[in-house]
A = this chain, B = another copy of it.
Amino acid sequence: METIDDVGEFGLIARVQARLPLTSPETLVPSGDDAAVLAAPDGRLAISTDVLLEGRHFRRDWSGPRDVGHKAAAQNFSDIAAMGGVPTSLLLAMVLPGDLPVAWVEEFAEGVAAECAPLGAIVAGGDMVRGDLITISVTVLGTLEGRAPVLRSGARPGDTVAVAGRLGWSAAGLELLLSGQDPHGDVGDGAAQAAGGGTGAGSGTEALPQPADYLAAHRRPSPPYAAGPQAARAGATAMLDVSDGLLADLKHLAVASGVAVDVDSTLLVTTPGPRLDQILTGGEDHALVATFAAEVPEGWRPIGTVYEGAAAVTVDGKPWEGPGGFSHFGHSA
């Protein structure tokens, strides 16, 4: 099988670039010069960065390269949506083993491209160097389209807490993988799509999820990108993306806003669907959680209320003492 060492760095760049979207009307100078030049039509840009490390954030025996490409783009795009913005471009800085098949990198690029396509986002730059372990650093840019960013710090007592997108699906999928089920990624775009749309306001819990859907959700998160700008337009007071788990991320919101948050378990659990502990503590679905002083917009599901008090998160009025707890903090921004 042809490897990276076989084709060399410049050969690899050409093969990857052929599979990526490289230009858009906002791309004034595409990747390939010392720097790209991008338009920022409203005079601002939203930007964030994340690392995916083989063995820690994905396993090659559990996820195919297309899955990893989808996930690398999706978890970063979600950070832009959580500000109320629209992702426009990303940059990929990668460490790749010399004996990695070129096909792996090509299919990874195809996964990135597929996640970019519905958003019209492009890849504005990259770097690839040889090393022992696959390491993928993604920097994502987005536009706020003239709106004020929705921060974590604006929640006020009396606000309704609402969620868009899926909770607990990725955790349910991980549990299946850990129990030895279906260790095959890239099972086809059909299977991944069946698990829920990626761009609409999430209403995943209305579906009737099957094990294959949880597995697909673990491999390829489907963040509800459009729900971010929608929440911003509807006057969301605070918003963030659920990457560490609902309770952990609501804690970030509670600390930043100086408020207490209580969630109602009866509004979270659906049958069939993930267990309550998966919903509360499972990360990586990249749902959006936001607070609203006024009416919750369509596609968003109320799940709780903001109260005056010390920065704390409770479930049905009590601290959560079930599985997961607050120990699983893995993500940094």
Residues on A facing B (Cβ under 8 Å): 9-10, 13, 28-29, 31-41, 43-51, 53, 56-57, 78-80, 82-83, 85, 91-95, 124-133, 135, 137-142, 144, 149, 151-153, 239-241, 256, 329-330, 332-333
Contact = CB atoms under 8 A, between A and B. Distances in A.
A144 B37 contact: yes
Residue among A43, A51, A83, A137 with most chain B CB within 10 A: A137
Nearest to A141: B47
A242 to B, nearest CB: 11
B48 A333 contact: no
B135 A95 contact: yes
Contacts of A36: 46-48
Q: How many copies of this chain?
A: 2
A41 to B, nearest CB: 6
Contacts of A49: 91-93, 125-127, 137, 139
A321 B169 CA distance: 61
Nearest to A10: B329
A78 B152 CA distance: 34
Contacts of A92: 49
Contacts of A139: 49, 91, 93, 125, 137, 139
B333 A31 contact: yes
Contacts of A10: 329, 332
Contact of A332 (B13, B35, B137): B13
A32 to B, nearest CB: 7
Contacts of A48: 34-36, 91, 125
